[in-house]
Amino acid sequence: MAIAVSKLYRNCASLYQMQLLAGHKGLGNLVEWVHIVEDQEVSSFLHGHELIFIAGYMCHDDEWLLNFTKELYQSETSAFVINLGPYIKSVPKEVVDFCNEVDMPLFTIPWKIRLVDVTRDFCTRIMHNESVEASVASTIKDIIFKVGDIETQIQHMERNGYKRDCHLCFVNMSVNNVDEQYNSDNMERLKLFVEQIARTSQRMFIAFTYQSNLVVVLSESDMYNVRKFVDDLMVLIRKKTDSFTINVGVSSIMQGFANQDINFENAIAANEMAGKRKVRVTYYDELDLYKVLLAVKDKKVLKDFYQEVFGRVEQYDSENGTDLMGFLRSYLDNNGSPQLVSEQQFIHRNTVNNLIKKIEKITGYNILNLEEKVRCSIGFMIKDIIN
């Protein structure tokens, strides 16, 4: 977890007489830790997402400071604080312009402020923020999995800003890694992206991992805001990295804490459907008939129905090297139009009719009958769920 630059600045500006000179658009940047750095070479050892302080002991001239600032930006520094005094008396315009250009917040504090006091305070605030977020995440997981006393848990959530009648939405994210070697690194990057989007918009959110996925709980009563969060996140991922993509499943918005376990499960189901349907984002509320099928707890019921509908067709395909299943799906997707099916399957219209007759002979169904079409359509939906 991390804390937004804006929150540190808001809480400490008057205490340490901090002045924001540049990089206003980067106040949503996240800070994971704080360092005092004086040597330009040290910047290469930073991990990124740090807030850097400098008093300027090594600063020779304006060009040195500008190059130092550029090095910090290349190291993905979140914000930069200059301790004005005998070594750096004022901030050069070139440094201010650069920080504005790259949206890296640049602050100054007067020489009389001791850097050791500021850095210790900031680090304490970061650790406290992480502790609170971990506690809230643990509590919401206990609520979801029905562990412990629900009333005590709700009171804890209320103490941390989540009202008893708040609205919650679950967003379940699975990471598709280009290289599995960097799976854990990509998950950490995803967490930072989520925090950046959520904190920039001042959203209340909770994040935790579950079965290798990242689950984000948004306190939102309007699905428009949830969609904006997801859209902004997808844009940020495309902009910042090509090492992974994500599939996202979004639950409904549900009020109160009593039945959020159902909402949580729906987000998981929506995420699984996103992967099976090869789409990036699936909203549970838009799954229509799939929602009914997903609600069936005994999957054997679904498997038995699927086998009854398509068992003989699949066996025929297996024994004869055909793809009647693929043809039938195309036929149903195109509302039984021989013209559209022939174009999609690259076959003659007469062949379409012949294949329909073959399927009817194998299954005993009249595919032109509405009821039989519905059975087959449901069968393919079940295939999406159980495969």
Q: Who has greater pLDDT, 171 or 379?
A: 171
Q: Who has greater pLDDT, 181 or 310?
A: 310
Tell whether the model's pLDDT for residue 1 goes beyond 70: no
- For residue range 343-360, list pLDDT tens digits in order: 888 888 888 888 889 988
Residue carrying the six token digits 């060009």: 63
Label the pairing between strands 167-177 and 244-255: antiparallel
pLDDT at 97: 95
Pairwise CA distance, residues 352 & 362, whole Å: 16
Pick from 104, 52, 62: nearest CA to 87: 62
- Which neighbouring-strand residues pair with 51? 34, 79
Tell whether the model's pLDDT for residue 68 goes beyond 80: yes
Q: Where does the pLDDT of residue 13 fall: very low under 50, low under 70, confident under 90, or very high at 90 and above?
A: confident
pLDDT at 256: 94
Tell whether the model's pLDDT for residue 120 goes beyond 70: yes
End-to-end Cα, the chain, rounded Å = 36
Confidence (pTM): 0.74
Average pLDDT, integer, range 320-324? 92
Pairwise CA distance, residues 202 & 129, whole Å: 15
Percentage of the chain with pLDDT > 70?
Answer: 98
pLDDT at 43: 67
Mean pLDDT of the chain: 89
- For residue 78, the 8-state DSSP code is S
User: For residues 47-73, b (16+ Cβ closer than 10 Å) or e, as one string?
Assistant: eebbbbbbbbebbeeeeebbebbbbbb
Average pLDDT, integer, range 180-207? 83
- For residue range 200-226, list pLDDT tens digits in order: 776 789 999 999 999 999 999 999 999
Average pLDDT, integer, range 255-276? 93
- Comparing 34-43, 49-58, 72-81, 254-263, the range with the smallest average pLDDT is 34-43
Tell whether the model's pLDDT for residue 280 goes beyond 90: yes
Q: Where does the pLDDT of residue 196 fall: very low under 50, low under 70, confident under 90, or very high at 90 and above?
A: confident
Percentage of the chain with pLDDT > 90?
Answer: 50
- Comparing 89-103, 183-197, 230-244, 254-268, the range with the smallest average pLDDT is 183-197
37 φ/ψ angles, rounded to the nearest 5 degrees: -125, 130
Tell whether the model's pLDDT for residue 158 goes beyond 70: yes
